[in-house]
Amino acid sequence: MNDRIADIHGELTPHARGTVWPARVDLHLEDGLAEDDVDRWVQSACLLCSNGCGCDIAVKDGRMVGVRGRATDVVNHGRLGPKGLYGSTAWSRSSDRLTRPLVREGGRLVESDWDTAMGRVVEVSRRLLADKGPLSHGFYTSGQLFLEEYYTQAVIGKAGIGTPHMDGNTRLCTATSAAAFKESFGADGQPGSYTDIEHCDAIFLFGHNMAETQTVLWTRILDRTRGEDPPRIVCVDPRRTLVAREAEATGGVHLAPRVGTNMALMNGLTRELFVHGWVDEAWVDEHTIGVDDLRAVVEPYTPDHVADVCGLDADDLRRAARIFGESTAVLSTVLQGFYQSHQATAASVAVHNLHLLRGMIGRPGAGVLQMNGQPTAQNNRECGADGDFPGFRNWDNPRHVEELATAWNVDAMTIPHWAPPTHAMQIFRYVETGAIELLWISATNPAVSMPQSARIREVLSADTCFVVVQDLFLTETAELADVVLPAAGWGEKTGCFTNVNRTVHLSEKAVEPPGEARSDLDIFVAYADAMGFTDKDGNPLISWRTPQEAFDAWRAVTAGRPVDYTGLSYDTLRGPTGIPWPVNDEHPEGTDRLYADGVFPTDTDYCETYGHDLLTGGAVTESEHRALAPAGRAFLKAAPYTPPHEEPSEDYPLRYTTGRTAYQFHTRTKTGRSRSLDAAAPDAWVELSVPDAARLGIDEGDRVRVESPRGAIEVRARVGQVMEGAVFAPFHYGHYDPSGGTPDADHRLANELTMTVWDPVSKQPYFKTAACRVVKVRDGDGPAPAPTTTASAPATTQGRRSVPATSGGAPTSSRVLDETPDYPLDPSRDPGTPTATRRP
């Protein structure tokens, strides 16, 4: 029986390069139940990070009681991580689930019924539409709903109401991934595949602490690094994470740039490729545009100059570049260390540039994985509840808008395409100025997750805006709402979602939702019905009722687009594994990786965007784009490094950066309700480097005050693994306090300190660049509540207090299969697949 709190990644199954990743089936059942006790297993996939591990939900007496990994699923080959095992079902039976709608009466939220609650929403919505028009409405959704729900919401917002003010918390986690794809390749869409892990000889992780954020994917990498012919790992991260340690162990490099200087680092790496001739000139000529401009922009970034800006050793930079330049197949992954940091889109685009310069895209082992934070972020981007247009259509292309107008049978003028879609930060600004008077928030908790949270709470509390929140629990955000709608969660409703490498899973309803809670799809449909939204012929705009009907409507609008679902159905998704899009006549079994032919969706009439200036966000026009005649070539886009918006000063001498831990997800709405996970990371902390802690007279576990120009927190200090000058705080902790009596609960919200500032292209807020100061408040009475099994491990040179190892997870089982199942599309099935390069 494995304690997967102590052993995050579980038993390894090392294997050689180019061979199929073995299967290992992980299982956790609550209350000491055994596999035989389970009444039913219901097909699904884990919803606690973007990895999308296939799993079956265990149902006993009408309740969800655990999960088991699906051995046949291409994503996880049966494995599950601690969050998936311990966090998938425990929340569903919490006594504090919302079971009835709430409405605000005399300043207090009181229990009500659906007719009253929806009646209030509809009354306000109707009045505002009549008085102020569609721009009075804003929608802020999630990265955790299902495809069918996003698509329905997108149609309501874009064709029913006609507001451009739609976005999701995907803006905070994944917007840069989408933006970077669009800038380089013309449209969103993950080029690479997880199967690249089996074929590469180098893996670069850019600002991606995969060992904690996608634990199962990291297990897949460990199974390569511990096997025969392992890849070298290069880690770009200011903390000495497990990834950084693996980089050291595999003969790779750990680069720890100063927070906010990623762009200088990327320009330095790019310049090295040029200087050493690690460029596939013929491929670049044929398949890209912009190489001369790129070469000119990176020219000043010599290793010494970069070392200076980033606080690195120039030789480490050279070594990393050499690994990129001399490996035969490089896989790169990118996450929040880039997406939420200064020059986010430009730095992420620079990762594409490295691959394009070497022609390392579209073949097994040579690929890019721009990751997502949340499990269904991809669907929000595809379906357009986040401001994008459904099917990766270009809002600025009238023909694309016409296609949607035809599909929905509405006047194209209704669809808000006369301005760029409004991003989340601007939506909240419009609420603040009083321009948006109805804000509908679904399945997300901005009061905790948005930057400068005190401001966000003020915005949400103002009485100029009617706030609707639909969620599973009375979150910190729901507490501020005018109407709260109880929603059904994962396993209590049916729908599809798509993971970070385009793999679509069907998640079936396993149990009934509690009380009067309804699926988000049902809630949106009920609103559309009550509002009487109709098409041009007077028929209901939302003609579907069930998830399957919604899926079929969505599938139809993807025809001919890069994100082609036309060959998928609920029936095909009930098979042994999730299926990666595009799935169509040409690719009936799906598509393992994109751009195998080196042709990108950049054609002016086809692309999702005409592109932007990476420094300003200024939009390229259609005629400018046409003049470039991209015709399927990828863009090499360059940007110089600019210093971050807030640099350390005398008053605030340290760099503040926020992030995640392996045991919690988002604002802990689900993971906080799992005893095993909550106990592993029960309360907030900050991490300081050994020299900074010594200078400030701070010892492990001391209570400290961390302050920026915007706010402060008081939590316990972990003297840990961050680089000198940096302070790390996990962002998960608001005042929601599952175990009760946590003394920090009211002053531990990491986003009190962060700034309201965002990337000019992706509009993703920068959570990683703020200046701060740290002072000791008083001696601690024990170690900080930070895990020891992760990047938060205490420094080896310990202070007065010794720190017990994190452990104590409920029992789980794990079984390595003797016979590895057959995985469709997996290039390792065919021993003839060349793992080496087609170009030496």
Partner 1 sequence: MPHLSTYVGLADHSEKTLAESLRAVADGHAAEVDVFHTCHLLAGWSDEHRHLLAPVVARYGEDDVEEPERLHADGLAEVRSGPVGLLRDLQDLHVLATLVQTTWTVVAQGAQGLRDHELLQVATTSNAETTRQLTWLNTRMKAAAPQALIVDP
Taking CB within 5 to 8 Å according to partner kind, which of ligand SF4, partner 1, none is near residue 49?
Answer: ligand SF4
For residue 755, the minimal CB distance to partner 1 (Å) is: 8
What region, left, alpha or beta, does residue 229 occupy, with left being phi > 0 and alpha being psi -120 to 50 degrees? left
For residue 323, the minimal CB distance to ligand SF4 (Å) is: 26
Distance CA 682, CA 787 (A): 9
Taking CB within 5 to 8 Å according to partner kind, which of ligand SF4, partner 1, none is near residue 616?
Answer: partner 1
Residue 234 sits in the site that holds ligand SF4 (CB under 6 A): no
Distance CA 36, CA 23 (A): 21
Taking CB within 5 to 8 Å according to partner kind, which of ligand SF4, partner 1, none is near residue 418?
Answer: partner 1
For partner 1, which residue of 757, 777, 816, 817 counts as binding (CB under 8 A)?
Answer: 757
The 360-389 site mask, x for binding partner 1 (CB under 8 A), equals ------------------------------
The 610-649 site mask, x for binding partner 1 (CB under 8 A), equals ---x-xxxxxx---------------------x--x----
**What CA–CA distances, in Å, run from 170 to 41, 195, 374, 446, 451?**
31, 25, 7, 11, 14
DSSP per-residue codes, 190-226: ----GGGGGT-SEEEEES--HHHHSHHHHHHHHHHHT
CB 424 within 8 A of CB 140: yes
Alpha helix stretches (DSSP H) within 588-736 = 622-628, 675-680, 690-696
Taking CB within 5 to 8 Å according to partner kind, which of partner 1, ligand SF4, none is near residue 433?
Answer: partner 1
Residues in a beta bridge with 42: 57
Strand order in the sheet with 811-816: 2-3, 811-816, 24-29, 63-69, 54-60, 40-45
| Angle CA 55–59–64, to nearest 5 | 80
Site for partner 1 in 760-789 (CB under 8 A): 760
The 447-486 site mask, x for binding ligand SF4 (CB under 6 A), equals ----------------------------------------
Q: What's the maximum distance between 2 C-alpha atoms anywhere in the chain?
A: 75
Residue 84 sits in the site that holds ligand SF4 (CB under 6 A): yes
How many other CB atoms are there within 10 angstroms of residue 691's CB atom?
A: 12
Strand pairing report for 102-105 and 63-69:
unpaired
**Nearer of residues 619 and 777 to partner 1, judged by Cβ:** 619
Structure-token pair, residue 664:
């919690």
Site for partner 1 in 404-463 (CB under 8 A): 418-420, 422, 425-426, 429-430, 433-435
Helix, strand, coil % over all residues of the chain, rounded to 5: 30, 20, 50
**Nearer of residues 21 and 408 to ligand SF4, judged by Cβ:** 21
Distance CA 254, CA 232 (A): 11
Taking CB within 5 to 8 Å according to partner kind, which of ligand SF4, partner 1, none is near residue 195?
Answer: none
CB-based contacts of 614: which residues, under 8 Å, 6+ apart?
A: 183, 343, 345, 346, 349, 637, 638, 639, 760, 761
Residues in a beta bridge with 612: 619
For ligand SF4, which residue of 48, 205, 488, 511 counts as binding (CB under 6 A)?
Answer: 48
For residue 676, the minimal CB distance to ligand SF4 (Å) is: 13
Site for partner 1 in 137-166 (CB under 8 A): 164
For ligand SF4, which residue of 10, 52, 290, 601 counts as binding (CB under 6 A)?
Answer: 52
Site for ligand SF4 in 209-228 (CB under 6 A): 214-216
Taking CB within 5 to 8 Å according to partner kind, which of ligand SF4, partner 1, none is near residue 216?
Answer: ligand SF4
Residue 404 sits in the site that holds ligand SF4 (CB under 6 A): no
Which residue lies nearest ligand SF4, judged by its C-beta?
Answer: 84
Closest CA to 266 of 149, 357, 191, 397: 357
For residue 53, the minimal CB distance to ligand SF4 (Å) is: 3
Residue 46 sits in the site that holds ligand SF4 (CB under 6 A): yes
Taking CB within 5 to 8 Å according to partner kind, which of ligand SF4, partner 1, none is near residue 817?
Answer: none
Cis geometry, peptide bond prior to residue 794 (ω within 30 degrees of 0): no
DSSP per-residue codes, 358-384: TT--SBTTBEEEE--SSTTHHHHHHHT
Residue 80 sits in the site that holds ligand SF4 (CB under 6 A): yes
For residue 588, the minimal CB distance to partner 1 (Å) is: 41
Taking CB within 5 to 8 Å according to partner kind, which of ligand SF4, partner 1, none is near residue 613?
Answer: partner 1
Burial of residue 815 (CB within 10 Å: 0-12, 13-18, 19+) is middle
For ligand SF4, which residue of 25, 53, 166, 460 counts as binding (CB under 6 A)?
Answer: 53
Distance CA 179, CA 553 (A): 26
Interface contacts to ligand SF4, rule CB under 6 A: 46, 48-49, 51-53, 76, 80-81, 83-84, 214-216
Interface contacts to partner 1, rule CB under 8 A: 132-133, 135-136, 164, 418-420, 422, 425-426, 429-430, 433-435, 613, 615-620, 642, 645, 756-758, 760
